[in-house]
Amino acid sequence: VLSGCGVYDGTEIHEASAILVHLSRGGAEVQMYAPDVPQMHVIDHSKGQPAEAESRNVLVESARIARGKIASLAKLTTADHDAVIFPGGFGAAKNLSTFAVDGKDCKVNREVERVLKDFHKAGKPIGLCCISPVLAAKVLSGAEVTVGHEEEEGGKWPYAGTAGAIKELGGKHCVKEALFSLTASYEAHVDTKNKVVTTPAFMCETELHNIFDGIGAMVKNVLKLTGK
């Protein structure tokens, strides 16, 4: 499920690409979706500033990542899929929810909420990375998720405050590493009860290959939970 195209106002492109590569390697068939709604705003990524008087549609922008093969999120049903995965990027906090503005008092897009609840009720796994675990924390009360560490640690975890917000949303935060051993193994947290799998990704200031491998751990566990 995508939220636009570009880290500051949509889907984090590297995360989406990594997910797709790992799903392909795992032999999964993939269909991409996005809500057919306006973006909260448009960011000029060369300046990191809002582009005034410009508007874009989340579905239309997400189609860039999907190479045109995308459908409205309203068409996503549990009957047709074994699992659902949400990449991160500020779009998850701006377009799929209002978390970027409202924090613990945020609202979740109604189709996103429906999808999360439907997959949870069906006992089908849900994967989320980077900032997107806040969606599960808000919608699935008591869900265990990770966004990495709970302290900034000199800038290594610049968004560590999100962990506190997750607790305020009703979720349980579990501290995980981006890199946890010299053998370059990466952590994803698996909430086996709720079948929710999360990994920090770009919540950590680390090398791109670390993020790629961490997303791989998330995808691998999601596929494992499908039982296929």
* pLDDT tens digits, one per residue of 15-58: 999 999 999 999 999 999 999 999 999 999 999 999 988 999 99
Q: Active-site residue among 5, 106, 129, 130?
A: 130
**pLDDT given at position 138:** 97
Task: Specify whether 5 is catalytic.
Answer: no
Burial of residue 64 (CB within 10 Å: 0-12, 13-18, 19+) is middle
> Nearest to residue 89, comparing CAs of 45, 124, 55, 46?
45
Residue 49 lies in a domain: yes
Domain housing 115: 13-226
Residue 206 lies in a domain: yes
Question: What distance in Å separates the CA atoms of residue 222 and residue 228, rounded to the nearest whole number?
Answer: 10
Residue 127 is part of a domain; what is its CATH number? 3.40.50.880
Residue 207, number of CB atoms within 10 A of its CB: 11
Residue 2 lies in a domain: no
Mean pLDDT by 10 residues, the chain (228 residues): 98 98 98 98 96 95 98 98 98 98 96 98 98 98 95 94 96 81 65 97 93 95 96
Residue 71 lies in a domain: yes
**pLDDT given at position 179:** 57
- The domain tally of the chain equals 1
- What single letter denotes the amino acid at residue 133? P
Residue 29 lies in a domain: yes
Residue 145 lies in a domain: yes
Residue 117 lies in a domain: yes
**pLDDT given at position 187:** 85
3-state SS record for 186-218: CCCEEECCCCEEEECHHHCCCCHHHHHHHHHHH
Q: What is the pTM of this model?
A: 0.95
Residue 173 lies in a domain: yes
Residue linked to tokens 């996503």: 76
Helix (H, G, I), strand (E, B) or coil at 43: strand
